Copies of this chain bind each other. A is one copy, B any other.
Amino acid sequence: KMKSWSSLDTVESDFRPLVVIELAKGTKEETIEWLTQRIVDKKADGGAQLLIKPLVTEDGHENIYLVGASHLRLLLGAETVGLVKECNDNSMRAFTYSSRKTFKDFADDNHNFLTMSECQYIIKHELENLRAKSEKMIPGYPQAKLYPGKSIVRRLLTSGILVQIFPLHDREELKKLRHSWYGRVKVGYQPLDDIRCYFGETIALYFGFLEYFTFALIPMAVIGIPYYVFAWEDYDKYVMFATFNLLWSTVILEVWKRICAILTYRWGTLLMKRQFEEPRSGFHGVLGINPVTGREEPVYSSLKRQLRIYLVSLPFVCLCLYFSLYVMMVYFDLEHWALDYHKENESTFSSLMLYVPSIIYAVVIEIMNRIYRYAAEFLTSWENHRLESSYQNHLILKVLVFNFLNCFASLFYIAFVLFDMKLLRQSLATLLITSQILNQFAESLLPYWLQKRHNKRMKKRVSSQKTDADLSLAEQVNMEKEMGTYLGTFDDYLELFLQFGYVSLFSCVYPLAAVFAVLNNITEIYSDALKMCRVYKRPFAEPTANIGVWQLAFETMSVISVVTNCMLIGMSPQVDALFPDSKTDLVLTVALVEHLLLAMKFIMAFVIPDKPRHIQMKLDKLEFESLEALKQQ
């Protein structure tokens, strides 16, 4: 029988479990032995040099393993993954073991120098980089082929031997975080640094963006309220509101880049070097030589991928867009029918029926979005992208285009084909509020309720009257492994993106949208926090320096909103009245104003620096130092 403790050079008495590995039930003994041996083997022998310990559950099965590492191993791992930490002189530098003494808060016995999520990220990185040497297959599973350099863990995952790897929660820390995050009712900022320490940069940046975006919407909401209360419909007031909105949306997106730079500089990810990306786990192809690395790995023709994208995915997406437009037309028929019905038999029932088509349509949109999402995932996966980032970009693009059309096509139709501002306002309100309620429910509250019920049943089975903090490690692991997996910030950003669309695209018709958005986002912060802390397994931290493609998506939306708002203002009867003689002059004036606004937007985006001066200076200083160091060599 294998040893519970690995034979590491520095045997530590306090094994701290960080990551859980769950193998399939009935995994062959030889496979387990081989895997654990590879995990504990020295780096020099091609191992990961980590600690691993089986977790003996009550039913005697041994399919769950806890992975940890010695303090020294983690520090060396921090250097490998390129973690950036603060030095004693307050500058941020890539951590190296040899210069460890120059880092703030470093002491040989300070095991909190690396946060727990950083340790878990290091272990994940080391496990994923555990590569096959001369093995042709996974021992015991001849169908699970290996080749030199192939990531063992990825092959184990794809062949189903490894069920999941996930980092453990830290019950104490989580309790503290929950308390400072949403435990008490308070006015103030979220504890972003604590969130980052616990969940990593990607998630902290999402919450940072959500908070920033909510604050940024407040001026719009405040200015929007009197428009609703006093029913202002004067031409000049509308123009002022729209102009303010357009410039404001440019400013907030530019300022976000600066705030993002401040946050990620403090967290060290702004300076983190991009790691070389390995092929994503789903990537397949004929074994060949990668021209970049010179290593043997699956190779897939780029031409084939292009053909798949342009000849299959693109037509499919277009077809879906067409279908979505078709559904929209059906909705308008229904709407028309409901109106007729109401006119014929004026009753409470018929007046309620007026709202039915909108609500049905909102629900159908949500359903279509979700179905399309699966199709998009399947197609993008079938396109066989080599890198996870390229897969993500193609997926996001597909989903964004469809969601955009699905959510806004009807509003565009009402506004620019039917010219019905009243209906537009009503539809906008219905869509916005329905989708917000649906989202909050489907995303957080429903899973929370399910999770809670499940936990109760679990606890009842395990022991009668324990609180969360009292649970034993085995009980904690068993509870957490059943929790849902957080699938990344995609859906959360998408929700914000669509909300931004509702607020900015037709802002001059429905100034109250910003108010609803602010209210939604305040509850969203709480429900998303709840979701992170209570519903899902702890996710692995993912270092990131910005919100990536979403910045571009939001900027594109703000460009489109210039066009729509200018058109809406041009169509308002008040503006119409200013050009009594010629409608052509009106259209020309509106087009001119639109072009000027667009030019102003681009100039503003160009003039506002992406990084604050003091951050830029620190970056320059680092670059200068590295150049000087190069010269000294």
Interface residues of A (CB under 8 A from B): 80, 273, 275-276, 291-293, 302, 563, 582-584, 586-588, 591, 595, 613, 617, 620-621, 623-624, 627-628, 631
Q: Which of B273, B582, B591, B627 contacts A627 (CB 8 A)?
A: B273
A291 CB contact (under 8 Å) in B292, B302, B583, B621: B621
Q: Which of B275, B302, B591, B613 contacts A591 (CB 8 A)?
A: B591
In the complex the two chains form, what is the Cα distance from A583 to B80 in whole Å? 67
Residue of B80, B293, B586, B621 near A624 (CB, 8 A) is: B293
The listed residue (B293, B302, B595, B631) touching A563 by CB distance below 8 A is B595
Asked whether B613 lies within 8 Å of A302 as measured between CB atoms, the reply is yes
Cα distance A617–B292 in the bound complex, in angstroms: 6
The residues of B that contact A628 with a CB separation of less than 8 Å are 276
Q: A292-B617, A563-B595 are in contact. List 12 more A-B contacts (CB 8 A).
A: A273-B627, A276-B623, A291-B621, A292-B620, A293-B621, A302-B613, A582-B583, A583-B584, A584-B584, A587-B587, A587-B591, A591-B591
Contacts of A275 in B (CB 8 A): 627
Closest 4 CB pairs of A and B: A583-B584, A587-B587, A292-B620, A292-B621
User: Is A624 within 8 A of B587, CB to CB?
Assistant: no
Q: A564 → chain B, closest Cβ, in Å?
A: 11
Query: Given A563-B595, A595-B563, A292–B624 Cβ distance below 8 Å?
Result: yes
- B residues within 8 A CB of A631? 80
Other-chain residue from B595, B613, B624 in contact with A276 (beta carbon distance below 8 A): B624
Within 8 Å CB of A302, what residues of B? 613
Q: State in angstroms the CA–CA spacing of A290 and B488 once bound together.
A: 43
Cα of A628 to Cα of B292 in the assembled complex, Å: 12
| Complex: A563 Cα to B627 Cα, angstroms | 45
Q: Quick check: B584 and A291 within 8 Å, CB to CB?
A: no
Q: Among B563, B587, B595, which residue has its beta carbon within 8 angstroms of that of A584?
A: B587
CA A228 to CA B623, docked complex, whole Å: 56
Residues of B within 8 A of A584 (CB): 583-584, 586-587
Residues of B within 8 A of A587 (CB): 584, 587-588, 591
Chain B residue contacts of A563, Cβ below 8 A:
595
Chain B: which residue is nearest A586 at the CB level? B584
A617: which B residues are within 8 A, CB to CB? 291-292
Neighbouring B residues of A276 by C-beta, 8 Å = 623-624, 627-628
The smallest beta-carbon distance between A79 and chain B, in angstroms, is 9
- Residue of B at shortest CB range from A595? B563
Contacts of A591 in B (CB 8 A): 587, 591
**Distance in angstroms between the alpha carbons of A48 and B41 in the assembled complex:** 53
Which residues on the B side are within 8 Å of A621 (C-beta)?
291-293
CA distance A591 to B592 in the complex (A): 10
A122 to chain B, nearest CB (A): 14
26 cross-chain CB contacts under 8 A: A80-B631, A273-B627, A275-B627, A276-B623, A276-B624, A276-B627, A276-B628, A291-B617, A291-B621, A292-B617, A292-B620, A292-B621, A292-B624, A293-B621, A293-B624, A302-B613, A563-B595, A583-B583, A583-B584, A584-B584, A584-B586, A584-B587, A587-B587, A587-B588, A587-B591, A591-B591
A624 to B627, CA, bound (A): 20
A85 to chain B, nearest CB (A): 17
**B residues near A582, Cβ cutoff 8 Å:** 583
Q: Measured between alpha carbons, how far is A624 from B595 in the docked complex, in Å?
A: 44
**Complex: how many Å from CA A627 to CA B563?**
45
CA of A588 to CA of B613 in the docked complex: distance in angstroms? 44
Q: Closest CB-CB distance, A383 to chain B, in whole Å?
A: 15
> How far apart sit A628 and B293, CA to CA, in the bound complex (Å)?
10
Chain B residues contacting A595 (CB-CB under 8 Å) are 563
B contact residues around A273 at 8 Å (CB): 627
A291 proximity list for chain B (CB < 8 A): 617, 621
Least CB distance, A625 to chain B, in whole angstroms: 9
Whole-angstrom distance between the alpha carbons of A579 and B260 in the complex?
51
Across the interface, name the chain B residue whose C-beta is closest to A563. B595
Q: How far is the CA of A624 from the CA of B293 in the complex (A)?
A: 7
